[in-house]
Amino acid sequence: LTHIHPNINKLVKAFDNLDLIFVQELFMTDIAERADIVVGVKSAYEKTGIYINAMRKVHLSTPLVQSDLPDDWEVLKQLDEKMGGGYGFETSEDIWEDVRKTATNRFTGASYEVLRANEKQGISWPITEDGNGTPVLHREDFRTKDGIGAFRYHGYKPFGMIEEILNNKLTGYHLTTGRIMAHYNNSAQTKYTEKLMKRHTEDMLLVHNDDAADFSSEQVILKTEYGQTNPLTVKFTDKVRPKTLYTTFHHADSHLNFIFGDKSDELIMTAAFKSIQVDVIPVGE
């Protein structure tokens, strides 16, 4: 939350106003560092439980290695007991059985026994009472009242840098961010791997060779109305366009997402990480 989301300044203020922060984590992430209580829990490779992916595949995961740490649900159960609640679950299978009773249209036949027999390939929901999945969700019709699927067109509305480019009015420098193969998102896990850290030790700012005159210092700070980054090392290249700056966001100490605000796509609400106008401030001059 306090690394890869936009408008980090607002998020940090919100966390600072909390009376208590309780975190279940594998690693001491930025938010774990801010927490009052941190409980270590099992990783995905140490627990038994259900995973459902975007392709509707339902998988039963079993431990590759044993761990004496609690599972997430076990921590919640202990908290519930301390607060006098009635959690009532003793195993992850108990929890899944409750899910099956609630979402009968999808998981009626998805017992642990059936999923265990299909552990490698998984089963696509909806899963019928006899344990058969549904590889293709819509064959003859859609699951609507009239059986017809509705498709709606929504035209793209240019704004920001794209609008300026289309109108030949591009001014200043714009930043876009991305990933590099060595790290995953905020590198909460990958930064503990020495070989990966050697491949990518910092978020460097890529600048087109033609813009070198504006970057006289080895490091710069990027600033917007929302906040500013920490110093970023400049690297000149021909792999980006003139007036377009690029960097990764894997390292929390770069403070990249402090400069992005709440502006987002009007339909899917994804933050505008890929284009923001920035002021470039030299460091050490």
How many CB atoms are located within 10 Å of the residue 257 CB?
Answer: 24
191 and 276 co-located in one domain: yes
Report d(CA 6, CA 259) in Å as an integer.
8
pLDDT at 123: 95
List pLDDT tens digits, range 57-110: 999 999 999 999 999 999 999 999 988 888 889 999 999 999 999 998 899 999
* Tokens representing residue 69 in the block: 């740490």
pTM score over 0.75: no
* Tokens representing residue 137 in the block: 């969700």
Report d(CA 1, CA 214) in Å as an integer.
34
List pLDDT tens digits, range 14-39: 889 999 999 999 888 888 889 999 99
101 and 189 co-located in one domain: no
173 and 248 co-located in one domain: yes
Of 201 and 183, more confident? 201
In the chain, the N- to C-terminal Cα span, in Å, equals: 34
Whether 42 and 68 have beta carbons less than 8 Å apart is answered as: no
List pLDDT tens digits, range 264-275: 777 777 777 678
165 and 239 co-located in one domain: yes
Domain count, the chain: 2
**Sequence-distant (≥ 6) Cβ neighbours of residue 120 within 8 angstroms:** none
Report d(CA 222, CA 173) in Å as an integer.
10
Does residue 188 lie in a domain region?
A: yes
97 and 197 co-located in one domain: no
The strand pair at 49-52 and 232-237 is best described as unpaired
List pLDDT tens digits, range 232-268: 999 999 999 989 999 988 777 888 888 888 777 777 7
Q: Among all chains, which residue has been given the structure tokens 């408008």?
A: 7
